Amino acid sequence: MTRKEKKALARILIAGALLIAASLAPLEGLWKLLAFLVPYVIVGWDVLWKAVRNIAHGQVFDENFLMALATVGALALGEYAEAVGVMLFYQVGELFQSHAVGQSRKSIAQLMDIRPDSATVLRDGEPVETDPDEVAVGEQILVRPGEKVPLDGVVVSGASTLNTAALTGESVPRTVAQGDEIVSGCVNLTGVLTVQVTKPFGESTVSKILELVENAASKKAAAENFITRFARVYTPAVVLGAVCLAVLPPLFMGGWATWVHRALIFLVISCPCALVISIPLAFFGGIGGASRRGILVKGGNYLERLAKVETVVFDKTGTLTQGVFEVASLHPAQGVTEGSLLECAALAEAYSNHPIAQSLRRAYGRDVDESRVTDVKEIAGRGVTAVIDGQSVAAGNEKLMADMGVKAASGSETGTVVYVARGGKYLGRVLIADRVKDSAPAAIRELKARGIKTVMLTGDAKAVGQAVGNALGLDEVHAELLPGDKVEHVEQLLAKKSPKAALAYVGDGVNDAPVLSRADVGVAMGAMGSDAALEAADVVLMDDDLGKLAAAMDVARKCSRIVTENIAFALGVKALFLVLGAFGLASMWEAVFADVGVAVIAILNAGRMLRGK
């Protein structure tokens, strides 16, 4: 508990003890009033002060005014114990609220701990400690073990492992060495790193993440906006209702004291604090809980939409697949070994920077002896020819093989095929493909288990797109699309969905900005350090784990369920007790439950978002 909460608890305990003493003491008249007035002032002076101050500022109709009016009225009617009890239990509810909000802020603060306190910059070869925002792009910083990486940059020297849990929610450290890019907010675990800064602090990953989380509370969900508008109309309406209840029946039936007492009970019951506090708390807790898993939600409105998603549209390259060409399989001709086929292809591509050539050399796994390769020629739209160990070698597509008079054995594989021939004889073929991410199959199964339709849009050839779609079990695949075609397809899907449902688009955030913006919810994948993703998306998954998409939806659906429960429970109980109070069937103590009890229960329910239950 905070110091403020401890003081509030002490006031409640002291006032409670004095209330019990005053109730048991055989006092009458003024002495009885004074005995109850002491605990009343101890526990309720701040409520009275806020009510007076708000009235002076033109803010009349709030819970402080309702509490002050009801309890002062109860004192005037001689209901001393009830007046103190109402204020006492109201403060108990306020304490619960304060603690719950504090826990939620604490969970957000844990994410905020990624903010670096300082940076050690190398100037004239000497380490100088300074503020991160005073380090210029191009300068070199020193990051020692145990320190947070203060700015985005590239490792100039050193090797280490980084803890990225604060950004991605993953506990597995990431290994970095010279030439690797690193982002601010990670914690250096082992070696000393020298990093050349590539972005000023204001544009660094850590700054943008903190800005997103800090601004998330300002983007309210529809339920939050409804409660705000509801409270503005509801509070003055119930005050007017209480006045009518106190004045109109006695004009015809008499018994002014009875009806004024009922009106005061009516006011206590009507306080909207259960809704005004618990609904924003649920969304705040949802955003905080998601952030701890490495899922950034830019506002309660996006969390609310995410709960309604019935269709998820995926980009292919970089989202469902690795986005990197890899050797998928080797198919040597009879009498040729796989090693010989791969070596010949890697040597032929020794001087090429094409992604396919790079994938062949990576698969070869050894240093290519370029001295063995001469007379290299690149033939546009065909492939390459070279002389290796004195023999002519061709590596390329079927057209190149036909040009060389070599009969190639084609296969049914989906992907890019490199055919290889040496000395005019066919050696075999190498299949190059963009691999499906390891997390993709399980992620798609989890979405389908939740009743969500899955669609993939890609610019790749139909055969490639369909192969990925079949492997993952997607419901629809649309291939050979330009960026504008993707937007058009999303528009068509949006037109087909039910009015209350939502559509999410998941992309890598680099070239999908138009579609991310058009979807009901734009989700960026693998976005640690990606400016485009942080700008364009509504939800950012800070690493490449597609499984976190289902986790984000679970958080959103749980939050939506809690909000619905709180609204139904609070309004239902209050409506019941307002009727009972108006007919004299509810006492002030029952009114306390209808206000404070409902608020505490709603707050505890909203607090489940923080506890992950």
Q: Is 572 exposed, middle or buried (0-12, 13-18, 19+ CB in 10 A)?
A: exposed
Which DSSP string do the residues of 385-433 spell out, in sequence order? EEEETTEEEEEE-HHHHHHTT---------SEEEEEEETTEEEEEEEEE
Residue 200: φ, ψ to 5°: -65, 160
User: Does the pLDDT at position 114 exceed 70?
Assistant: no
User: Does the pLDDT at position 395 exceed 60?
Assistant: yes
Residue 539: φ, ψ to 5°: -130, 135
If one compares 477 and 328, the residue with the highest pLDDT of the two is: 477
**Which of 324, 319, 298 is closest to 510 using CA atoms?**
319
pLDDT band at residue 426 using 50, 70 and 90 as cut-offs: very high
Name the amino acid, one letter, at 596.
Answer: V
Residues with a known catalytic role: 315
pLDDT band at residue 544 using 50, 70 and 90 as cut-offs: confident
CATH of 323-435 given 3.30.420.40, 1.10.1200.10, 3.40.109.10, 3.40.1110.10:
3.40.1110.10
In whole angstroms, give the CA distance from residue 224 to residue 563.
Answer: 9
Copy the structure tokens of residue 562.
């809690």
User: Does the pLDDT at position 613 exceed 70?
Assistant: no
Please say whether the structural domain 119-150+152-198 has been given the CATH code 2.70.150.10.
Answer: yes
Q: How distant is the alpha carbon of residue 427 from its chain centre?
A: 52
Average pLDDT on 3-20 reads: 88
Domain 295-321+437-556: top CATH class? alpha beta
In whole angstroms, give the CA distance from residue 201 to residue 197.
Answer: 9
Residue 306: φ, ψ to 5°: -60, -30
pLDDT band at residue 540 using 50, 70 and 90 as cut-offs: confident
The residues spanned by each domain of the chain are: 3-109+217-283+558-611, 119-150+152-198, 295-321+437-556, 323-435
Name the amino acid, one letter, at 109.
Answer: A
Element (H, E) at 119: strand 119-123
Helix (H, G, I), strand (E, B) or coil at 321: strand
Q: Tokens 């095929």 — which residue?
A: 417
Partnered with residue 391 across adjacent β-strands are 388
User: Does the pLDDT at position 224 exceed 70?
Assistant: no
User: Does the pLDDT at position 281 exceed 70?
Assistant: yes
User: Does the pLDDT at position 420 exceed 90?
Assistant: yes
In whole angstroms, give the CA distance from residue 137 to residue 237.
Answer: 59
Q: If you average pLDDT over every residue of the chain, what do you get? A: 83
If one compares 176 and 611, the residue with the highest pLDDT of the two is: 176
Most confident of 84-88, 138-142, 316-320, 560-564: 138-142
If one compares 503 and 277, the residue with the highest pLDDT of the two is: 503
Copy the structure tokens of residue 427.
């050696």
User: Does the pLDDT at position 7 exceed 80?
Assistant: yes
In whole angstroms, give the CA distance from residue 365 to residue 363.
Answer: 5
In whole angstroms, give the CA distance from residue 489 to residue 10.
Answer: 62
In whole angstroms, give the CA distance from residue 350 to residue 330.
Answer: 19
User: Does the pLDDT at position 100 exceed 70?
Assistant: no
Q: Is 32 exposed, middle or buried (0-12, 13-18, 19+ CB in 10 A)?
A: middle
Average pLDDT on 32-40 reads: 91
Partnered with residue 456 across adjacent β-strands are 314, 477
